Amino acid sequence: MNVPFNVEIGCSGNPQPGYIHCDRFFDRSNHADVDVVCDAAVLPFGDGLVDSVLMFGVFEHFGYFEVQEVLLEVSRVLREGGSFKFDVPDFNWFLERYLHPELLEDGRTEEWVLHSLFGWQRHGLDFHRWGWSKRRLEDFLRKPNWNFIDVRFLGRQWRDPESNHLIYECKKGDG
C-alpha cells in the first residue's frame, strides 16, 4: 500500500496536517513548522512523486512570470491525477472595497484592503506581486503549459469571514 505523499508550499507558521511543509522563509517564528527549506520554483522532489500540493496564502507572492515557473514545478512533481489546491486574494473583491469603503464590514479599513492587495510587508518576502480575478486566473490555469486536465473553482472563503479569496483545485493529466 502506498502512503500519500503530500506537500504544502509556503506553510510559514500555519502548517496543515498531513503534509510535508516547505517554505522559503525560515526563522525563529516558524522553524518548528517547516520540514524543508526551499524555493517553490525548485522543489526537491522527484518527477511525478507527489500526490497533492497545497498552497494557501502564497500564490499572490509571485510575480506573473515567477508564478509560471512555480506552476511548471508543481506540475513536474505531481503524479498523474494528483491535485494542486490553492487560494489567492480576489483582486476584484478588494478593489471594489477600496473604491466603495461603505461595503467594508467588521471594522475593516482602507489600510486593511491595501495590505490585502499588496501584502503586509512585515519582511522582504511579504509582498503581493500580482493580482488575480476569477476570469484571469481561470484563463491562466487552463493554459496547456501546466498539464491540468481539470480546473475547479471550489469557493471564495478560506480564513476571513468575507468571501474575498478564490480557491481552486487543479488535477494533473498525463504529460
Alpha-carbon distance 159 to 89, whole Å?
11
pLDDT tens string 88-110: 999 999 999 999 999 998 889 99
| Length of the chain (residues) | 175
Percent of the chain residues past pLDDT 70, beyond the cut: 92
Q: Give me the pLDDT at residue 1, please.
A: 46
Per-residue pLDDT of 49-74, as tens digits, reads 999 999 998 999 999 999 999 999 99
H or E, element range at 81: strand 78-89
Domain 6-89+127-172: which CATH class?
alpha beta
Each residue's pLDDT tens digit, 16-54: 889 988 888 766 666 667 778 889 999 999 999 999 999
Q: What is the mean pLDDT of the chain?
A: 90
**Cα–Cα distance for residue pair 163/53, rounded to 1 Å:** 23
Q: Can you give the residue ranges of every domain in the chain? A: 6-89+127-172
- 149 to 30, 58, 62: CA distances (angstroms): 35, 22, 23
Q: How many Cβ atoms sit within 10 Å of the Cβ of residue 74?
A: 25
